[in-house]
Structure 1
């Protein structure tokens, strides 16, 4: 993979996302205290940042393919084949560790194995289940399954009437956001709000739910629609990248503060995730604005962490749980050891499993996405967890 083609701002956001997730998992499953302070307590939002990144990346690939008149047509087969080769091999490799290596799996109860294999683990998932953090991968795979045919169906209904197709597309997106908010409002119960801890029912019914957790993915899709179908507005927004960065950072800070105060309340359950989606969309806009500080700043190490983030996500939680049996998890040296071990494990999985299958993908399955010369390179970005 050519690292020079990567987008520094998006790499920074992707690396930040896995750092947030690591901090939260370290608190929840290893040290059982806020080792990294508020960063640990809000770290679950790293998954939502991954969702926003994936929504933009996948949406951009689909919409760019659909609007490319020189292409033979958008191929669902090629899209799904490339997605499967990108996400499934590393996931199945780690799943095999849980299934066939008792030491790695520990003594946690597992869900039916067919749910892991079919990316439906998040449906009726109970906290404390083996490999439970794969719930976010399930939401993303279901999103990858649904978005292309919906986009194609809208295009087919509108046929050559582009204005109608765009109206239907934006209407469908707004309806999906509204439906998620309505479902969370309907499913929420006072017994779910346990202050700093939500009830198990909150996680099973709302937090892990596909229908209730599309908000940030849809925010990324909205950005992809702006880029591909409203170029004048896109150029106007990206000319003000630093303003987007300042606004996105301020809105993210507000969302984090509100969610730290009352994550499991009715109001934050209904409105908190769309607020995060909007905040992260503004940060993505800044990352994609060539003149912004976020886009221009290449932070050493962030590109590598971003590149290995999917494999780090798959392995870090269980690895740290096992290492914690042999060290004091609240000691600085132990924390440094587990961070280093997580990075090394992610690097190994990336090069041993992800890289060969990505080579096969590039060698045998043409992409639907044909980048135009003036567009920022995004094709090298990995699908996020």
Structure 2
């Protein structure tokens, strides 16, 4: 069975995963909404809502790792681990992710030149996903940081598997799990090293650590571990799903209760956020998966959630740099009344969803379908 046929066979949507994806993008949108409704607020409620964005992106990371990990494991099971097989996997991923990314990148470059006339940003880094590889990325197309992490995660692990092929080692699911765990350990040690060598120039947690590739690849690999458990330990996945959800929910609530009750922030309590928060967040999300995976909802709400899930990638790309920042450029949010701010917020959501729908229907779908074109199939079958 080729990778194309395999993916067609497993194409049926899992509603529980749509729920997870919809939750993730809505958390991101809520976070960005604070920049319109309460841009200068220092209240704990606004801070909590802003934090939704952090949580939402990590939900995306774990979910993406879970889905892609399952595909890689299936390829291993079918012994499709040659360079040709892996390259086919990469091509399919690139047809899914790169067209949208490059289109929005080019639009952002156009907006920068149109609105600000000039810039000293190295755009080539963005085309190569190097804008945040080991340092904070420039204040341009800022939401692209998470896409760099995902791209490197999906290139690095299959490349490791190819290395073992070259070394004449048999590629097994157990090896995949071991490599995932080793990568998580290495990235964790890297964050500890960052924390121990913290200086005033690297003190900005979100830009200098949370959004940097070499510190965040493990977020994807937690999803790989979930995929392994789902595929090779299905009885435990099913049997302990409620216990797992309880543990994940409790960890999530206790961790955030500690943050908001004590009032600690990343620029105050460095070690907690640098070393512990991000892996614990990934783990708490991961533990919720067995229950969320089985969610069933019928009727209109089912349709709405599925649509939001389908549009989520396009929504993520257009809502901030294309819609929100453009609105902020032409509208002085600080000078508006609360009612006008609420109106601007409504406009932000409506335009974001309309653009995401158009991008998904007329651009994302056609490019995604090219993965199964005769031209591509002939080269990998």
Q: TM-score, normalised by structure 1?
A: 0.79
Quote how far apart the aligned CAs of 1:70 are: 9.0
* Residue ranges of structure 2 left out of the alignment (5+ in a row): 1-7
* Residue ranges of structure 1 left out of the alignment (5+ in a row): 368-385
Quote how far apart the aligned CAs of 1:123 are: 2.8
The within-5 A match list for 1:1-385 is: 5-28=12-35, 31-32=38-39, 33=41, 38-68=48-78, 75-102=85-112, 106=116, 109=119, 111-123=121-133, 125-126=135-136, 129-154=139-164, 159-160=169-170, 166=174, 168-188=175-195, 201-228=204-231, 230=232, 233-260=233-260, 261-264=263-266, 265-288=270-293, 290=294, 295-297=295-297, 299-300=301-302, 301-318=304-321, 319-324=323-328, 325-326=330-331, 328=336, 330=338, 331-364=341-374, 365=376
Local SS of the residue matching 1:178 = helix
Within 1, Cα distance between the matches of 2:99 and 2:342?
34
Local SS of the residue matching 1:44 = helix
8 Å CA contact 1:98–1:105 kept in 2: the answer is no
Quote how far apart the aligned CAs of 1:110 are: 5.7
Quote how far apart the aligned CAs of 1:212 are: 1.1
Within 2, Cα distance between the matches of 1:42 and 1:85?
29
Deviates further, 276-285 or 327-336: 327-336
Within 1, Cα distance between the matches of 2:235 and 2:73?
17
Quote how far apart the aligned CAs of 1:297 are: 3.0
Quote how far apart the aligned CAs of 1:106 are: 4.9
8 Å CA contact 1:188–1:202 kept in 2: the answer is no
Local SS of the residue matching 1:43 = helix
Richer in helix (by share) = 2
- Listed one character per residue, the Cα deviations across residues 183-219 of structure 1 (whole Å, up to 9, x for unaligned) are 22221269779xxxx9764344312221211232111
8 Å CA contact 2:58–2:281 kept in 1: the answer is yes
Deviates further, 257-266 or 203-212: 257-266
Local SS of the residue matching 1:188 = helix
Shift in CA distance, 66/303, structure 1 to aligned 2, threshold 3 Å: same
- Listed one character per residue, the Cα deviations across residues 144-192 of structure 1 (whole Å, up to 9, x for unaligned) are 1111122344467574585xx62x4443333322222222222126977
Quote how far apart the aligned CAs of 1:105 are: 5.8
- Listed one character per residue, the Cα deviations across residues 360-381 of structure 1 (whole Å, up to 9, x for unaligned) are 11234459xxxxxxxxxxxxxx
Within 2, Cα distance between the matches of 1:49 and 1:9?
13
Local SS of the residue matching 1:130 = coil
Within 2, Cα distance between the matches of 1:110 and 1:352?
33
Quote how far apart the aligned CAs of 1:89 are: 0.7
Within 2, Cα distance between the matches of 1:250 and 1:242?
12
Shift in CA distance, 156/279, structure 1 to aligned 2, threshold 3 Å: farther
8 Å CA contact 1:8–1:303 kept in 2: the answer is yes
Deviates further, 75-84 or 29-38: 29-38
8 Å CA contact 1:259–1:272 kept in 2: the answer is no
Within 2, Cα distance between the matches of 1:24 and 1:106?
26
Shift in CA distance, 124/218, structure 1 to aligned 2, threshold 3 Å: closer
8 Å CA contact 2:146–2:211 kept in 1: the answer is yes
Quote how far apart the aligned CAs of 1:7 are: 1.4
Q: How many residues align?
A: 351
Quote how far apart the aligned CAs of 1:68 are: 1.9
Within 1, Cα distance between the matches of 2:220 and 2:248?
17
